[in-house]
Amino acid sequence: MNRTPPAKVLLVDDKPYDGDLAALVLQHHLPHAELIIVEDAIEFAEHLALGGFNLVITERHLKWAEGNRVLESIKRLYPECPVIFFSAEKAPPGSNEKNTKQPDAQIKKSSAGFLHLPVTVNQLLQPREPSADENNAAGPLMDRLPVGIFSLNQEGELNCLNRACNKIFRLDSNDKEPPLLQNLLADDAAREKINHVLQQGEAVNDLDVQLCFGDDTPYWVRLDLWPNEKAVDDGTHHFEGSVSDISSFKDAVSSLSRNAAELSRSNADLEKFAYVTSHDLQEPLSYISRYANLLHERSDLDDDSERFMEHIIDSSQRLQSMVDDILEYSRVGTQDNDFELVNFGDLADTAARNMEKAFQEKHASYKRGELPVLRADSRQIKQLFQNLFSNALKFHGDRPPRILVTAKEKPEHWEFAVQDNGIGLEKKDRKRIFDMFQRLHTSEEYPGTGIGLAVCRSIVERHGGTIRVKSIPGKGSIFAFTIRHKPPSREA
């Protein structure tokens, strides 16, 4: 008896993680299929020339080609080979025109899409349409899926195709009258959305809705609907869809939101406490320092007394520096200004001028490229540059410090870089240097409080960005931070 050779499926995707995940899902549900991941144009050309594949799954947009070009190449040589567009991107305008080749199926690359993919692949690999009896008995594959699979007509009549669907919608598979999807939804907005989709024949992805079952328990599901590609004689729209129970996810999100709000209030209280405490410490600390200096100037002190007074003065100075830095750190969250258009180049230059004496003492040089104009808190951005410049001057090593400031525009933000030629740092220390009171060296080697870079991180995060460091020990460091094109909606 001749065995049917295993189906060969090409996965054309230059995002390796997506390709690996799709292959893993397909391998689980289609264990006998041969899955080949194609990541570049050369591999695709080789498989196109060799042929022998039964189905192709491709991204809509690849680095080396558009999905439509992949579709046209396959259909030209192998017109009977099914092609699935599996992409997070929407179809571009005009892609559904009659003179444009269409894929056999289109699935959005989402959590539900990955689970719907093996069902679609299995359907397209079938040599013939299954009968109604086979559909009822064929469930082994779909009944193993954790998501519900169903079909809809234009009126919204719901036909569950697996057990998970019946379980999620709480339906009895023996019911003769199919329910309307709209009647299972809890709110009017969701019902209007579904009615619109059914009438227009549109796809809907990741629609979170609440179901109503006559009790007060919230029951959230996520719906995905795809228009059926097959033509219908009467011109009405038919759909395939999937449904996932996301009640536990919604509960977790709600709990996380509450915890985040509580944490935000707690952090605000801590910032206010730090500000008030450090502010109130200024006066008694100045008295200690002042009277210690007066005693130190007296000529009748013996050697031990003079040494003790020097220790008191040195400690009070270090404590004053720490109080000043804590006060500056707390001001980031408690005494911020509104965001306005500011020239980052001017702010960097001002920060360098404010440190002119330190630059001269270290024989340091400062250069910058063209920096943008963005909405930001000018005082905090100037402080950010000063702290990074101070860090470069302090940890300069044997060579005169060299500081270079540049910026590159990215799709959603600008990325700034402050580069120095200092002593650098080890990879293991790259994250912790942005924490409060973190020091890599003793105060005798390099004076400081370990707060300056924590202030930098707080300023950048307030502007909706991130900060990191790249460094080679003995060669220098590059402190890179991002500032968004549009400031955060909550300027606080």
Q: Check residue 273 and give its pLDDT.
A: 61
pLDDT tens digit sequence for 80-94: 999 999 988 766 655
Residues paired with residue 478 on neighbouring β-strands, in sequence order? 419, 470
In whole angstroms, give the CA distance from residue 407 to residue 414. Answer: 7
pLDDT of residue 234: 56
Claim to verify: residue 264 and residue 330 sit in the same structural domain: yes
Q: Which amino acid is at 374?
A: L
- Together in a domain, 464 and 423: yes
Distance CA 41, CA 47 (A): 10
Is the pLDDT at 138 greater than 60? The verdict is no
Q: Which amino acid is it at 18?
A: D
User: Does residue 349 sit in the same domain as residue 488?
Assistant: yes
CA distance 303 to 487: 59
Closest CA to 389 of 369, 419, 363, 411: 419
Compute the average pLDDT of residues 463-492.
Answer: 82
Q: How far is the C-alpha of 321 from the C-alpha of 329, rounded, in Å?
A: 12
User: Any idea which of 120-134, 181-195, 231-245 has the lowest mean pLDDT?
Assistant: 120-134
Whether the per-residue pLDDT at 3 is higher than 80: the answer is no
Q: What is the pLDDT of residue 134?
A: 44
Domain interval for residue 10? 1-127
Lowest mean pLDDT among 197-201, 246-250, 475-479, 486-490: 486-490
Please indicate, yes or no, whether residues 153 and 189 belong to a single structural domain of this protein: yes
Higher pLDDT among residues 23 and 2, named by residue: 23
Same domain, 299 and 349: no
Domain co-membership, 120 together with 252:
no
Give the residue from 191, 225, 245 where a domain finishes.
Answer: 245
| Nearest residue to 424 via CA among 464, 354, 477 | 477
The pLDDT value given to residue 93: 54
Order the strands of the 402-409 sheet from edge to edge.
365-368, 402-409, 413-419, 476-484, 467-472
Identify the CA nearest to 10 among candidates 68, 63, 65, 86.
Answer: 86
pTM: 0.42
pLDDT score recorded for residue 10: 94
User: Of 127, 146, 173, which residue is a domain's last?
Assistant: 127
Q: What is the pLDDT of residues 24-72, one digit of tens each?
A: 889 888 888 899 999 888 888 888 888 889 999 999 888 888 888 899 9
CATH number, domain with residue 95: 3.40.50.2300
CATH number at residue 411: 3.30.565.10
Comparing 252 with 393, the larger pLDDT belongs to 393
What pLDDT was estimated at residue 137? Answer: 45
Do 107 and 144 fall into the same domain?
no
The answer to whether the beta carbons of residues 467 and 479 sit under 8 Å apart is yes
Residue 492 pLDDT exceeds 50: no
Question: How confident is the model at residue 276, as a pLDDT?
Answer: 59
Same structural domain for residues 42 and 145? no
Which CATH number goes with the domain that contains 307?
A: 1.10.287.130
Confidence of residue 404 (pLDDT cuts 50, 70, 90): very high
Last residue of a domain, one of 127, 149, 179: 127
* pLDDT of 155 above 50: yes
Q: Model confidence over 303-361: pLDDT tens digits?
A: 788 788 888 887 777 777 667 766 666 666 555 677 899 999 999 999 999 989 989 98
- Nearest Cα to 239, choosing from 106, 66, 358, 367? 106
Q: What CATH number does the domain containing 235 carry?
A: 3.30.450.20
DSSP state of 480: E
pLDDT at residue 172, as a whole number:
80
Residues 290 and 330 placed together within one structural domain of the fold:
yes
- Written in H, E and C, the secondary structure of 312-374 is HHHHHHHHHHHHHHHHHHHHHHHCCCCCEEEEHHHHHHHHHHHCHHHHHHHCCEEEECCCCEE
Question: What percent of the chain clears pLDDT 70, i.e. is strictly above it?
Answer: 79
Determine the pLDDT at residue 282: 67
Q: Euclidean distance between the first and final Cα of the chain, in Å?
A: 74
Q: How far apart are CA 201 and CA 337, in angstroms?
A: 49
Strand partners, 154: none
Residue 127 structure tokens: 């040599």
pLDDT classification of 1: cutoffs 50, 70, 90 = very low
Q: Does 113 share its domain with 164?
A: no
Q: Which of 126, 106, 157 is nearest to 135 (CA)?
A: 126
Work out the average pLDDT over 457-470: 88
**How does pLDDT run across 171-220, given as a tens digit for each residue?**
887 777 888 888 888 888 888 888 888 888 888 888 888 888 766 666 88
User: Which of these, 50, 66, 55, 49, lies nearest to 14 by C-alpha position?
Assistant: 66
**Averaged over 13-25, what is the pLDDT?**
85
H or E stretch including 477? strand 476-484
Residues 298 and 340 both lie in one domain: no
23 and 50: one domain?
yes
The domain tally of the chain equals 4
